[in-house]
Amino acid sequence: SVDLSTRRLVVRPVAAEPVADKSYELWIVAEPFGPAPRSLGLLEDVGAPTERALDEISPAVLRDALFGISLEPAGGSPTGRPTGPALHGTLIPTAPPDGD
C-alpha cells in the first residue's frame, strides 16, 4: 500500500517464503523514470512488513506507477534491473482523489 499524502509505501507479504541465497527486491516503473524499472530496495524480511519513504516521488507519479517484486540473488540484482521472476501490480484507489 502507498499513502499518497505521506508518500509511505508498506509491503505486507502474504504468502512469500524465504528462499536460500535469494532476496526479494521491490521495483517501480513510472513514466518520469523512463521504461526501465527503478529499484526501491530489498524486502528485509518476508515475514514482516517492509516500509519505504518515497519523499522524492510525487503523489501523482505514485498513483499511476506500476510496482513489482522480483526474486534476485542474495543482496539484490547485480545488473540494476530485475533478473528473476517478478510479480507486478498497480495501486487501487481506496478514497476519492484529492486533486493533487
Q: Per-residue pLDDT tens for 10-68? A: 988 888 889 999 999 999 999 999 999 999 999 988 889 999 999 999 999 999 999 99
pLDDT of residue 95: 55
Whole-number Å distance between alpha carbons of 52 and 18 = 20
Residue 45 pLDDT: 86
Q: What is the value of pTM for the model shown?
A: 0.85
pLDDT higher than threshold 60 for residue 100 = no
> In this predicted structure, what is the pLDDT of residue 17?
87
How far is the CA of 2 from the CAs of 17, 38, 41, 65, 92, in angstroms? 23, 17, 15, 11, 10
The answer on pLDDT for 98 being more than 70 is no
3-class secondary structure, 8 = strand
How many whole angstroms separate alpha carbon 15 and alpha carbon 33?
A: 30
90 alpha carbon, distance to own chain's centre: 10
